Chains A and B, each alone.
Chain A
Amino acid sequence: MQPFHKTLGSALILLAAACSPKAQKITAFMEQNPSNLSAWGVVAVRGKALTLGQDVVPYDLNTPLYTDAAHKLRTLWIPPGKTTQYREGGALDFPVGTVLSKTFYYPKAKDGTLLDTLDTSSDFSGTGLNLAKVRLMETRILVHRENGWVALPYIWNAAQTEAVLERTGGTMPVTLHADGKKRAFTYIVPNTNQCTACHATNATTKAIAPIGPAPRHLNKPYAYQDGLQNQLERLAALNLLTGFDGADEAPRNANWRDEEAPLDARARAYLDINCGHCHNPTGAADTSALYLDRPAHTYPAGNAGHCKPPIAAGQGTGGKLYDIVPGNAEASILWYRMNSTDPAVMMPELGRSTIDARGVALIKAWIDAQEGDCR
């Protein structure tokens, strides 16, 4: 184990706990799958907070995947002495032994009701996620073992003290409150095969890999305790990233909520993270010929979606002729499938039980602003 100061440098805002002698050590299980999340140590309940383990680095993404309006705490841990090779395209080339975690939670009001809000400012206390202010739902672990990545879903108990491995996933009734309105739905935790459905971004090799921690998603500032710093530069400063030439040289997806950013960049960043893991030339949805990954790339006619007839959409057509009809979102299959919760229609097929109204509005604005016609 390397000395703390050498691996981490300055303390991160979420690593206050790690500064105390009590911060839990990490165990990267390379063969067995422990029943309790706490065995890993990457996140654990300590007092009234969900705290990070030693040398665990939090991160977030320029534009995240929508998961029923859940907030997410993402972390990465790289074995001491190892480093990650910078690369573009997919995720960074994390070494064997790397443990990623993603904790899904909802902010909650004083009366315990769960909130539908994009505001994360109340989520954190000095030591981690403030359990007086959030309800933990599930934590997904991605561990890089000798034979590849393995995905494991853990579901938090009602007492919010521990999360337990549920390889077959699970369902939980949730009611979210916003602006005096309620929406009730079944929150669904995927089974481990379903983890593969998204994380095997190459459906032929079926090898699973992280999706979020790729340069274009990570290339943004993060509010560490010592101030804002670009996440990639932070990893490089921590000696966790090599081959990196600086944030200016790295690709960067737009923040889908940044109204200063071009509409096209925002929409394509949204489609990239929400759809591109399947809708890419080697992904599970290559059967459809519609590619929505790589915002900076222009796919040819027939793959980009404009005026593209569906292949095997079934009810997903919604009576519409083309994936994207320029200038007319409501005549577009893409919009229709995002705007549905019918399992036979909805896209993505997995990972949500509700409609992302803000995302749908973004894509609608994007399509409505396009010019051309399908002749």
Chain B
Amino acid sequence: MTKHWGLISAFMALTLFGCEQKATQSAASTDAAASQDAFQKQLQTQLLDAKPGDIISIPAGIYAFDRSLSLNVDGVTIKGAGHDKTILSFKNQIAGAEGLLVTASDFTIENLAIEDAKGDALKITEGKNIIVRGVRTEWTNGPDTKNGAYGIYPVQTQNVLIEDSIAIGASDAGIYVGQSKNIIMRRNHAEQNVAGIEVENSINADVYDNVAINNTGGILVFNLPNLEQRGEQTRVYNNLVESNNLKNFAPKGSIVSSVPAGTGIIINANDKVEIFDNIIKDNKTSNIVISSYFSIGSMNESGIKPSFDPYPEGIFIHGNTFEGGGQSPAPLELKALRIAMFGLTGRLPDILWDGYANPALLTDGQLPADKRLCVDNGEVQMLNADGPNGYKAPNMDQSAYACTLPALPPVEL
């Protein structure tokens, strides 16, 4: 994506439809700063005064803000003229942990861009029935540790649809749904983020028809400890997950800083995940990684609730098309392992498992049927990296994964 957004609009207008309110302001001013200030105040006032059913339309133009915008009225729609036409820029932001913060239900935002927020671009929290459509969140200077963490970030939400949106340059995840229920993420494009698309501690998510390209990790399905809601039941299908080989630029200590560059799809400590019918190619560490929380590197006794289950369970991989990848894993242990097992010119298999399974559940070395890791994907193979034993005895025995699991039900919003 390149920037081609033309001139700063000297003519700023904002129209509020719905109810009987109709406020239009036009300010053609030679004093751009005063004009920006006026628009900032105008738009924030519209957000404060909004009533359920209102549509706030922002015409084409580049609008600069120095503080966060926020909305906490239910039932509001914010609309732009297109993600390349209506641009909310936070490049000169001095305060606020996000560009736009929404704490409301029945919220729709579409066809605009949020650029260069200091923290998160669009955070939506504690709401139901959320639609994000045709929104672009971007850090325009490209990948940088100083970029904001999340692009599109609903957290503790229910019934969430994110579609036809674009996320570029997030120093954590481009599109990140956390601690939520009933989610559809489709036809989005995530590029040059540490994590392209991430589902975290969420229940019932469908991730399909997306493109995740040139991120550090393409699509992540994670469970993190200490939270009230444990996530499960995610379907990842019909996506193109390609060349996610970007050097990891997340701040150390953040969870995604542990994702190796070159990871296509990664499941961490999550359960009931079905990965099928994707095209997954040229991810140089591994096209798919299945891992436990142990591999994040933060496991300890005094800071993690004992109730946390760090193991990925009930994972089913089938019908995907793989191409390339695994030829140049980022982590040192995997580099050595690749050469030792597959030779100087060899590649890691398409699926890499860190090898951690809950010992309390094993019977004759096997997990119960509904908790197994199953691969039904032609010739595709999984490597058990033997993490619990310090990667000493990795093995390619495929018999343990020769199983299927029932298909997960589709998400209905």
Contact = CB atoms under 8 A, between A and B. Distances in A.
Interface of A: 167-169, 171, 186, 188, 191-194, 196-197, 200, 203-204, 206, 284, 286-287, 289, 300-303, 305-323, 333, 342-344, 346, 349-350, 353, 372, 374-375
8 contacts: A168-B45, A193-B101, A196-B103, A289-B228, A315-B254, A323-B303, A353-B95, A375-B300
A310 B96 contact: no
A303 to B, nearest CB: 6
Contacts of A287: 125, 155-156, 178-179, 227
B125 A284 contact: yes
Contacts of A312: 149-150, 153, 155, 172, 176, 178, 200, 255
Contacts of A286: 156, 228
B126 A374 contact: no
Contacts of A346: 97
A124 B298 CA distance: 52
B300 A307 contact: yes
Nearest to B103: A206
B404 interface: no
Contact of A313 (B48, B254, B306): B254
B226 interface: yes
B178 A302 contact: no
B330 to A, nearest CB: 19
Given A309-B225, A313-B254, A319-B252, A193 B48 contact: yes
A167, A169, A311, A313: which has the most chain B beta carbons within 10 Å? A311
A319 B96 CA distance: 21
- 7 tightest A-B CB contacts, nearest first: A314-B149, A307-B303, A317-B253, A309-B298, A302-B226, A289-B226, A302-B305
A343 B226 contact: no
Interface stretch (B65-73, B236-244, B337-345): B65-73
A188 B66 CA distance: 11
B45 A167 contact: yes
B119 interface: yes
Contact of B48 (A168, A203, A204, A315): A168
A192 B49 CA distance: 11
Interface residues on B, range: 35 or more
A311 to B, nearest CB: 5
B302 interface: yes
B254 A314 contact: yes
B255 A310 contact: yes
Interface string B83-109: 000000000011111000101000000
A343 B304 contact: no
Contacts of B119: 314-315, 343-344, 349
A323, A353, A375: which has the most chain B beta carbons within 10 Å? A375
A194 B47 CA distance: 12
Interface of B: 40-41, 44-45, 47-48, 66-68, 70-72, 93-97, 101, 103, 118-120, 125-126, 145-146, 148-150, 153, 155-156, 171-172, 176, 178-179, 200, 224-228, 251-255, 257, 296-298, 300-306, 308
A186 B226 contact: no
A203 B302 contact: no
Given A301-B302, A309-B225, A322-B303, A168 B253 contact: no
B253 A188 contact: no
A284 B97 CA distance: 13
Contact of A196 (B40, B45, B72, B252): B72
Contacts of A306: 302-303
B302 A307 contact: yes
A44 B249 CA distance: 53
Given A309-B298, A313-B253, A314-B120, A302 B225 contact: yes
Contacts of B153: 312
A191, A193, A286, A372: which has the most chain B beta carbons within 10 Å? A193
Given A311-B224, A350-B95, 20 more contacts: A171-B66, A193-B70, A194-B70, A200-B103, A203-B103, A206-B72, A287-B155, A287-B179, A289-B227, A300-B305, A301-B302, A301-B306, A309-B296, A311-B255, A312-B149, A314-B251, A322-B298, A323-B303, A343-B97, A375-B300
Contacts of B48: 167-168, 191-193
Contacts of A319: 251-253
Contact of B70 (A191, A203, A289, A303): A191
B302 A344 contact: no
A301 B172 CA distance: 26
B300 A344 contact: no
B173 to A, nearest CB: 9
Contact of A203 (B95, B125, B150): B125
A86 B303 CA distance: 36
Contacts of A350: 95-97
A317 B251 contact: yes
A309, A342, A374: which has the most chain B beta carbons within 10 Å? A309
Contacts of A349: 96-97, 119
B95 A311 contact: no
A343 B95 contact: yes
A372 B301 CA distance: 11
A204 B172 CA distance: 26
Nearest to A319: B252
B347 to A, nearest CB: 32
B175 to A, nearest CB: 13
Contact of A302 (B45, B297, B303): B303
Given A306-B302, A333-B253, A314 B95 contact: no
Given A206-B72, A301-B302, A353-B95, A310 B44 contact: no
Contacts of B101: 193, 197
Contacts of A200: 103
Contact of A320 (B146, B171, B253, B302): B253
A171 B40 CA distance: 12
B45 A374 contact: no
B171 A314 contact: yes
A343 B93 contact: yes
A197 B68 CA distance: 12
B281 to A, nearest CB: 29
B76 to A, nearest CB: 12
B95 A310 contact: no
A321 B118 contact: no
B144 to A, nearest CB: 10
B200, B255, B306: which has the most chain A beta carbons within 10 Å? B255
A345 to B, nearest CB: 8
Nearest to A200: B103
A286 B96 CA distance: 18
A66 B118 CA distance: 22
A197 B125 contact: no
Nearest to B90: A343
B303 A301 contact: yes
B109 to A, nearest CB: 16
A242 B155 CA distance: 40
Contact of A168 (B41, B156, B255): B41
